[in-house]
Amino acid sequence: MKLPGKDALRERLAARKPAPQGAKYASSPLLAAKTPIWRSRFLVVGVGLTFCLLIGRAVYIQVINQDFFQRQGESRYQRTLTLPASRGRITDRGGQVLAASVPAQSIWVIPKDFDATPAQQQALAKLLGMSSSDLGNRLKENANFVWLRRVVEDSVAAQIKAMALNGVHQQREYRREYPEGEAVAHLVGFTNVEQLGQEGIELAFQKDLDGRDGSRSVVRDRLGNVIEDIGDRIEPADGHDIALSIDTKIQFVAYQRLRDAVAQHNAKAGSAVVLDAQTGEVLALANYPSYVPGDRLTRTGANLRNRALTDTFEPGSTMKPFIAALAMQTGRVTPTSIIQTAPGTITITGSTIRDSHAYGALTVRQVIQKSSNVGAVKMAMQMQPKEMWDLFHAVGFGQKPPLAFPGLATGRLRPYKSWRPIEQATMSYGYGLSTSLFQLARAYSVFARDGDLVPVSLLRQAGPVAGESVFRPEVVREVRTMLNMAAGEGGTAPKAQAVGYSVGGKTGTAHKQDGANYASNKYRAWFVGMAPIHAPRIIVAVMVDEPSNGIYFGGDVAAPVFSQVVQQTLRVMGVAPDLEIKQQIIARAQAAKAEVESF
């Protein structure tokens, strides 16, 4: 095929007609329509505003709120770890540890990283003391962090670590240990898992015992492993140690003898308090039943009650020495004054008060020795109600003891203006008012000293302390003689005698209230006394609640506990015996033989 030449192409092009001027290339009316000017402006403004918003957001993030977003970013990899402080120790007067914190591991998990076979999960649950279903439910609580068990035993922590489960981690904390166990439980108390005091000294001295935690900033990977430290490390500050006035040897003796007495007499409970008569220090404070501070299962309501401090009772005949002392202090009687108690009863405004025996004429000394209700009432009714109230208040009844301890009981001492004659009469032998065992022990310090009420303390004291004067020294010496008679042959508590040491004290046997009335077969047995009687070093108070094996008098139930505690306590304190031991043993053996023969 022959292509056309250049001349032919020119001819063809020349033959074409030129396009007319102003011709439209777009035949569509839509394409031919002219765009409104507002639409293009709107588009430009919209794009401009979008860029302004983006720039403003960038300025806000990078400049204005930089710290917040920096923290949020760092929180994805940076952690501040708590360095727990060790809680202060609690010790007895000789440095024996009663409570201390020891390192322990706590187990935690990142549920989203947790990876374990069913067998491994079951083994983990068993080590933690929970079921597999409980563990599964725990893992659903939070995807990022869940405590599995706080402060586990070292052996448990080691076994869990050996399992090497993904997402399971351990953190070092502290566990509270109580070496002396239930013997000191009511005094020392316990803490919760956060090492915060809940009862006893642990609660009373929380601020002193509690330390200040430190901190450590670290970088962690997604598995929770620490990669490096960043920033400054703040070291923890451990809590302060607390040295108590308690002697663990005396405390254990008091607890053991009290426990044995409760079991022997099939009683409901019991309490004992031992005070240093010279310094006011609490040498022992025991209750039974008790609990193991580190065992939650034993911390039930009845076991937790610190009965010596929190429970109040009508003190019974232990109040009679105060009435005799007040009568002598005011000159109404002398130790040898005769009081006619025959026929063994006395009627006050229609109510009859009785003695256990018809004693007839008694001296004031014998009134205390024989524990005559009639004799005490006759002395009390010579007094004005205000005089008795002032005395009771002066020795601490009706008010909390000045002791740094939670839950102290106030007791009951009604205003004297509301007393009826029969109430004044019954208060002389311990009915119509109430007190705790600790209040009663402290009140007896006026007889163990030169008539002054000793300030008490749970912390060790440097030496003897001054008290508030209540009685004259010569009155107190006479009362001690009466207490010595009450605890000897012919008195209500010969079983209070201690081998090698002279003692004195007073029994109390009080009916328990059952609602508005007194239960006919429920009693509390008391004995409060001191030794050696002529220069007392200790005051011991014992209470046994509801002895139910047929023996319930304070001289038979509480006095033997007093005797045993006195002997051991004075030996621990290094107090030399003030009686001829051999003669005393023979005398007690003869008395026991005579008692057996009388049956």
Classify strands 168-177 and 226-229 as parallel, antiparallel or unpaired: unpaired
User: Rounded to whole angstroms, how far apart are CA atoms 312 and 409?
Assistant: 7
Task: Give residues with Cβ within 8 angstroms of 250, minimum separation 6.
Answer: 274, 283, 284, 565, 568, 569, 572
pLDDT tens for each residue of 345-404 = 999 999 999 998 899 999 999 999 999 999 999 999 999 999 999 999 999 999 999 998
* 340 has a pLDDT exceeding 90: yes
pLDDT at 596: 47
Beta bridge partners of 514: 517
User: Rounded to whole angstroms, how far apart are CA atoms 231 and 502?
Assistant: 69
- Per mean pLDDT, which range of 65-79, 187-201, 414-428 is the poorest? 65-79
Beta bridge partners of 272: 286, 542
Alpha-carbon distances, residue 594 vs 291, 369, 588, 590 (angstroms)? 41, 21, 10, 6
Determine contact, residues 277/536, Cβ cutoff 8 Å.
yes
pLDDT tens for each residue of 462-492 = 888 999 999 999 999 999 999 999 999 999 9
User: Rounded to whole angstroms, how far apart are CA atoms 555 and 503?
Assistant: 14
pLDDT at 599: 40
In the chain the first and final C-alpha atoms are separated, in Å, by 160
* 25 has a pLDDT exceeding 70: no
pLDDT tens for each residue of 291-308 = 999 888 888 888 999 999
- Per mean pLDDT, which range of 34-48, 126-140, 178-192 is the poorest? 34-48
pLDDT tens for each residue of 44-98 = 888 888 888 888 777 776 777 666 656 655 555 566 767 778 899 999 999 999 9
The kind and range of the H/E element at 287 are: strand 282-288
Determine contact, residues 124/165, Cβ cutoff 8 Å.
yes
Tokens encoding 357 = 């025996």
pLDDT at 538: 98
Which of residues 525 and 137 earns the better pLDDT score? 525
Determine contact, residues 278/258, Cβ cutoff 8 Å.
no
pLDDT at 175: 86
CA 370 to chain CA centroid, Å, is 40
pTM of the predicted model as reported, rounded to 2 decimal places: 0.78
Query: What residues are annotated to the active site?
Result: 317
* 144 has a pLDDT exceeding 90: no
pLDDT at 139: 86
CA 517 to chain CA centroid, Å, is 33
- What integer is the mean pLDDT of 246-261? 97
Report CA dihedral (61, 62, 67, 69) to the nearest 10 degrees: 50
